[in-house]
A and B are shown apart, each in its own frame.
Chain A
Amino acid sequence: MNENLTKDSTKWFGARMPRKEDRRLVTGKGKYIADFVLPGMLHAVFVRSEVAHARIRGIDTSEAMAMPGVVAVYTGESIKSQMKSMTQKVLIPNLPAQYPEYWALAAGTVKYHGEPVALVVARDKYVAVDAAEAVAVDYEELPVVLDAEAALKPGATVIHDDATSNEIFAMTFTGGGTVEEQNENDAEVEKIFREADVVVSERFKVHRTGVTPLEPRGVLCDWSEADGLTAWITTQRPHIDRLALIDILDIPPEKVRVVTPRDMGGAFGIKAPFYRENVVIAHAARELGRPVRWIESRYECQMNVGQERDQVNYMEVAANKDGELLAVRNRGIANVGVGLVGVYWGFVMPFLGAIELPNAYTWRKGDVKLRCAVTNKTSNTPSRAFGNYPTRFALERAIDMAARKIGMEPAEVRRKNIIPELPYTSVTNDFYDSGDFIKVWDNLMAQIDLAEFRKEQVAARKEGRYLGIGFSCGVELSGVASELMVPMENQPGYGSATVRVEPRGALLIFCGDAPSGQGHETTTAQAAASVLGIDPGDVVTTTGDTGTTPFGSGSIGARYGAVGVSAVAKACEQIKAKMVRVLAHDMEIKAETKDFEFKNGEIVYLHDSTKRKAFKDVAERIIMSPINLPEGEDGGLETTAFFESDKPMICFNADCCILEVKPETGEWKIKRWVTSEDVGNVINPMVVDGQMHGAIVHGLSNAIFEEYVYDEQGQQLSADFEHYKIATAADVPDFEITYASTPCPHTPLGTRGIGEGRPASVSGALTNALCDALEPFGVEITELPIRPSRLWKKVQEAKVG
C-alpha cells in the first residue's frame, strides 16, 4: 500500500491519493473502444467525400461488393428509407436557429471534404479499406463557400437547400428581450463610446483550431433479438446518444443500451455531439445480424471533428482616463462549418462564447451581437474552452490596448475593474454565483514583483533584449445549470448518482456521465469515503452505461465537480441519514445524523463513544436483516440522488506570462507562467493540477502550432499530425499553479467544476506578453495563430512604418 494513503478517513478529501485507474493503465490493461471484440464481428470503413460541395450523381459500389470478404456496402440513398433524418427534436437546442435536415449518410449532396457518403462492411479491416477505395462516387461539383463574412453576403451560394440563408443563427445578448429594449441599450452604449476618453476598436481573428484527443472515435454495435441494440460508443453522453438512436432508428426504448467504454482516450468535447456514424453502424449491425465495429482513423478524425474557434470579433472597449472600463461592444462572426452536428449545430459554442464575453469585469453597459455562418467546412464541434477561446483573446487584448492608450499598467486596469463582489450578473445576463475574484487576482500579483520586472525590462532593453509580461483571466463554467442547459442544448443540467451499499460495507456508485481521463473513479471514491468514513479502496464507480446508471446529460461543461460529485455526496448523505436512523433505533437513543461521526469504517455516537458499530455491520443489518426497523423505515440501503444548482455556477482563473522575445527571428521563450485559480474545495490536488497543466498547454498549442487549413476548393490540408502540429513536451514550459479558492456555497462539498473553460485565457496572456515585450516596436497582435514568422513580420513592418 502506498504510504501516501492514510488510515484516517477524514483525510480522503483533499488527499493526493494515487488514482485507482492507473494500475490498469500503466500495465496496458485498459479497455478502450478499439479493444472491444465480439464473436463474428465485422469491420466498417466509411467512404468520405473528396470534395467540399457537390451533388452526388451516382455511387458505383459494384467493384467493392465483388471483393472477397466484403459483406455489405451502404449508401445514403440505400438506407434513407429505413431511418429518420438526423434532425430530430432530441438533438435540437431550444434556440431560434435554422436546423437543416440531414441524413446519417449524405443523401443527394455533400457539403464538406470528408462527409460520410457510404459504408463498407467486411470481414477484415484491411479488406474494408481496399473496398472503400473501390467505391466510385460521381460528383457534380458546386460552388464552394469558405469564408464566414462572404457566406453572409447577399447573393452568396446558400449551402443548405432548406435554409433561407447561410446565417444559421444570430442573436443579440444584451439590453433585454425585445427589439425596443435592445435598440435603447445600443443607443446608450453608443453614447458611452462617443463620450469616452479612450476607445479601442479592432478586428480580432482567431483561426480554425480545436481539440485532438489521442484516441479518435469508435462505435461497436450488436443487435440481438432478445436484447435489441447494445452500442459501445466513444461518447461523453451515453444517455443522450441512446435517446437519439431510439428516435432515429425507431427502436423501442427498452431495447437500446449505450455504453461508453470505461477507458476513453480523451474527449475534450468532440465526443459530446451525437454523430451520424452512430446511426450508420447501428443500422448495419441490425441489417447484418452481426456485430459491426468502426474505429475512426486520425485522418477521418481530422476531417470530421475537432474544429472550432474560427471567429472574427469586431470588438470595441470604452474606458475613461482613470482606467475604468465603461462599455464593451462586439460583433462576432463565427464560421461554424456546415453546422450539421447533433446537439451543437456548430453555433452553440459561439452562442455561449457571446454570453461569457464580458468575463470578470464590471461594465456599465454592453452591446454584444453574434452571427453564425455556415460554410463548406467541417462542422464545428465542441472543444475545450467551448466558445470562449476567440472572445477571451479579443477582450484581453483589447483591455491591454486600452491600458496602453490610457497610460496605465494593464494589470492595474484589470484590478480596478474586476468584479469586487459576487454573486454578479453580467451585461449579457450571465450569472456568476460565488467566488472572490479580487483575492484570486491579488494572489496572482503576489507571485510576481511587477515593479521589479519593469526595472529588469528597462535594463534588458538597453542591452538589446526584450522581456515582456502579459496578463489575462477567465470566468468559466462550473457545470451547466438547467436554466442555461435547457435552452442551449435541450437537456437537463442536473448531476445524478446511484449509491448502493453492499452488505459487506463496500460502495457501488453509478454515475450517468462518461469521463475520459479526469479521474472520476478516484475522486468519487475519495468524496464518498470522506462522507461515509470508509476507505476509498472499498468504493467502485461505474459510469457510461445507460443500462445501469441514472440519467445524466454527460461529461461536459465541467459538470463533475459542480453537480456530478454533488449528486454523489447528496446520495451518501441520504445513506448516512438512514444508517443513523436505524442505528439510533437499535441503540435505543434519540439522536440525529449530526450526533454521529462516520470515521475509519465505524459509526460512533459522539456523546458516548462506547456506542459505536462498524459501518459494514450496520449495512449488513439494514440490507440482510431488516427486522425490528424503526416505524416507517424499509430495509435496503441504496439511493439515487439528483443534484441541481438553481443558478449557473462558475470557477475563475488568472494567468501571468513572462517571456523574452528575439526580434531578429520573432522567436520567444516563456520564462515563467504563473496562475492563480479559484477551484473551490479540492478533492484531489494532483488531479486538479493535472487539469490545469493540460488546459494551459492546450491553449498554447492552439495559439501557436495548430491550424486546420483549407485551400480555395475547400480541400482540407491538415488531416495528419505532420501537417496539424501539436505541442510536444519540448515545446512548452513548466507552470506555477497557485490557488486562492473560495469554497462554493452551493454544492454540498464546496467543490467547483473545473478544467473545461481553462484554455480560454491562455492566448490573451501570451499575446499580451509578446506585445509588452515588443512595445518599443509598437507591435499589436490581433490575429491567431501567433508564430515566430508572423511576429518577425510585424516587427519588420513596424520598423518600416
Chain B
Amino acid sequence: MFPARIREYHRPSSIAEALSVIARENVGEAIFLAGGQSAMQAIKSRMLQPDCIVDLQAVDEIRGIRQADGALEIGAMTRYVDIAENGALDGPFAALRDAASRVGDRQVRNRGTIGGSMCWNYVASCMPTAVLGLGGVCHLVSLKGERSVPADDFFQGPLTTAREDGELLSAIRFAAPAKRSGSAYRKWGLVTDSLPVVGVCVNVSLDGGGRCTAVRVSLTGLPDGAQRSTSAEEALLNSNCEPEVLRSAMNAAADNVDAQSDDSASADYRRQLIRTLGAEVAQLAVDRAKH
C-alpha cells in the first residue's frame, strides 16, 4: 500500500552527479527512478524496498530526440508522449511511435519513459519489443566508462538486462535506416491498450522491386519476454513481401515460438494472435516502407 521507509532521496542534475550518488550510496539498495510508472507500483507493493532513490527527472542530458543524417538517438528519460507525438518518427521508426502511443493510458504516457521501460524489461511490454525490432543500441555509462550494447544482448529475460548496478542507460541509438524501410508495432490485450498478451514488431527494408533486403521481427508477451523471431525473419528475407508470404512468415513465427497458457490466454491463442496480428503488422510495415 505505502512504500517501506526510504532513507534518502536525491535528484541529481547531470549524468556525472547521478553516477557519483549511486556509487556513494550502497548500490544494491539505491535505485534510479525514471518515470516511476512501473517502479512505483513495485515500491508501493514493497516488492522493491529501496533504501535510497536517485530521481533522474532533472538529468536533462539524457532527455530528448535527436536525428542526424538519418540516425536517431533517444535519451533514456524521454517520455512515451514525446515519442508518440514526434512526427519525424515515421516510416522506418514508426514502430517506436506505435508502441509509445499505446502504453497504459495517457497519464502514464505523460510520465513514463523509454529508458525506464527498457531497464524494467517486463515480460510483456511494448517499448523493449519495438527497440529490439528496430535493432537499437543501448548506451550505458558508469564511473568506469561507457559501453554500447545492442538490444539483442541488452534484453536478457524477464526483468533482467545487461545493465549492471552503477550503470546508467543514457540513450538508445538507431543507425540510419536503409531507404525504403518501414516498421510497425501492434499488441493485443483483453482490455484496450492493456499490457500485451502478445505484441509484434516488424521492421523491413525493401529494394526497388519490393524485395525484402533486411528484416527484424520481435515479439512480446511470451515467457522469455521481448525476443526475435528468426523463423519469421528467414521467411521474409529476400521474399517479395506479398500478403501470402507475410502470412506464412507469421505462421512460422507462431509455430516456432515458446508460448505459455495463463489467465490471459492459452498458448494456442497466443500463437493465433501472432499469426493474425503479425500478418497485419507486417503488412503495415511493408506499406510504410513503400512510401
Q: Which residues of A contact B (CB under 8 A)?
A: 125-126, 129-130, 133, 297, 299, 664-666, 704-705, 707, 709, 717, 722-723, 725-728, 730-731, 787-789, 792-793, 796
Contact = CB atoms under 8 A, between A and B. Distances in A.
B2 A126 contact: yes
Nearest to B277: A665
B244 interface: no
A252 to B, nearest CB: 36
Interface in B186-214: 190-195
A529 to B, nearest CB: 41
B173 to A, nearest CB: 32
B191 A793 contact: no
Contacts of A728: 191-192
Contact of A792 (B3, B264, B269, B277): B269
Contacts of B263: 707, 709, 717, 723
B272 interface: yes
A725 B269 contact: no
B5 A130 contact: yes
Interface in B1-29: 1-5
Interface string B247-291: 000000000000000011110110011001100000000000000
Interface residues of B, number: 22
Given A664-B276, A665-B276, A787-B190, A793 B266 contact: yes
Contacts of B277: 665
A796 B2 CA distance: 46
25 contacts: A126-B3, A130-B4, A130-B5, A133-B46, A297-B1, A664-B276, A665-B273, A665-B276, A665-B277, A666-B269, A704-B190, A705-B191, A723-B263, A727-B191, A728-B191, A728-B192, A730-B193, A731-B191, A788-B269, A789-B269, A792-B272, A793-B266, A793-B268, A793-B269, A796-B268
Contacts of B269: 666, 788-789, 792-793
Contact of A129 (B2, B191, B273): B2
A665 B1 contact: no
A788 B188 CA distance: 11
A723 B194 CA distance: 10
A787 to B, nearest CB: 7
Nearest to B5: A130
Contacts of A730: 191-193
Interface of B is mostly: loop
Nearest to B192: A730
A707 to B, nearest CB: 8
A725 B5 contact: no
Contacts of A789: 264-266, 269
Contacts of B2: 125-126, 129
A362 to B, nearest CB: 40
Contacts of B264: 789
Interface string B69-93: 0000000000000000000000000
A126 B4 CA distance: 8
Contacts of A788: 190, 269
Contacts of A130: 4-5
Contacts of A722: 195
Contacts of B273: 665
Nearest to A725: B191
Contacts of B46: 133
Given A717-B263, A722-B195, 14 more contacts: A125-B2, A126-B2, A126-B3, A130-B5, A299-B1, A665-B273, A666-B269, A725-B194, A728-B191, A730-B191, A787-B190, A789-B265, A789-B269, A792-B272
